[in-house]
Amino acid sequence: MSSRPHVTMAQRKRRLVSNELTEAALQLLASQGFEAVTIDEIATTAGVSKRTFFRYFASKEDVVVQFLAELGAGIHEELAARPGAEPPSVALLHAVSVPVAACGDHADRALRVVQLILRTPALLARFLERRAQWREDLAAELARRLDLDPATDLYPRLAAGTALAAFDAVLQRWSDSDGVEDPVELTGRAFAVIAPALDAVGVPSDRPAPSA
């Protein structure tokens, strides 16, 4: 028997409307600028009423926040699905590569959304806020995979933070190049740099630092 939860027709419809609103909002915001777009325009583009918009989102900013939450959840799910015997660098590379590859597959639309987030102070602040939660989620998953205690071992948070720093660097470089550089290739290069540190899990994290 399938262990997947049953999804009702109402839930499917709600998800469809939410996706349509998110897509309409992100593309309008990315093409016209965060301040220029109104909620009325988003609702009209999505083919729903303004009242319907507010059933799903409290503001324009919340649309982006939900997008970021789902992006982080996807990275966490990919990491959790990786084989337990994989080195951390390989598992984290695959987990991060999924959203990066999706950006590459939809480069024109995705690039505008990435640039919107990175270049709009309010949205960048929310991105960094969400990213902190991603780190905690990834750290918890790494601790589970490696049988470590995140309360006493520094490795899970350090590894999660390092992987996400690479992710940030790739997005920034891709954004700055206006999509000229390949985000998947950039990700591979970034992880080649950090892989030795990610795979140093056998080194006790509570070892005293060498004296100067």
State pLDDT tens for residues 162-174: 999 999 999 999 9
Domain 8-57: CATH architecture, name and number where available: Orthogonal Bundle (1.10)
pLDDT confidence of residue 150: 85
Poorest-pLDDT segment among 2-6, 16-20, 160-164: 2-6
Q: What pTM did the predictor assign?
A: 0.81
Cα–Cα distance between 147 and 174 in angstroms, integer? Answer: 35
Q: In the chain, which segments carry CATH 1.10.10.60?
A: 8-57
Q: Span 89-115, mean pLDDT?
A: 87
Q: Is 83 exposed, middle or buried (0-12, 13-18, 19+ CB in 10 A)?
A: exposed
Q: Span 189-209, mean pLDDT?
A: 76
Cα–Cα distance between 155 and 203 in angstroms, integer? Answer: 9
Q: Is the domain 60-198 a CATH 1.20.140.10 member?
A: no
pLDDT confidence of residue 151: 87
pLDDT surpassing 80 at residue 200: yes
Cα–Cα distance between 107 and 209 in angstroms, integer? Answer: 44
Q: Span 72-76, mean pLDDT?
A: 91
- Residue 52 · residue 34 · CB < 8 Å: no
Q: In the chain, which segments carry CATH 1.10.357.10?
A: 60-198
Q: Span 27-45, mean pLDDT?
A: 89
Poorest-pLDDT segment among 11-15, 47-51, 183-187: 11-15
- Residue 55 · residue 21 · CB < 8 Å: no
| Distance of alpha carbon 208 from the chain centroid | 34
- Residue 166 · residue 179 · CB < 8 Å: no
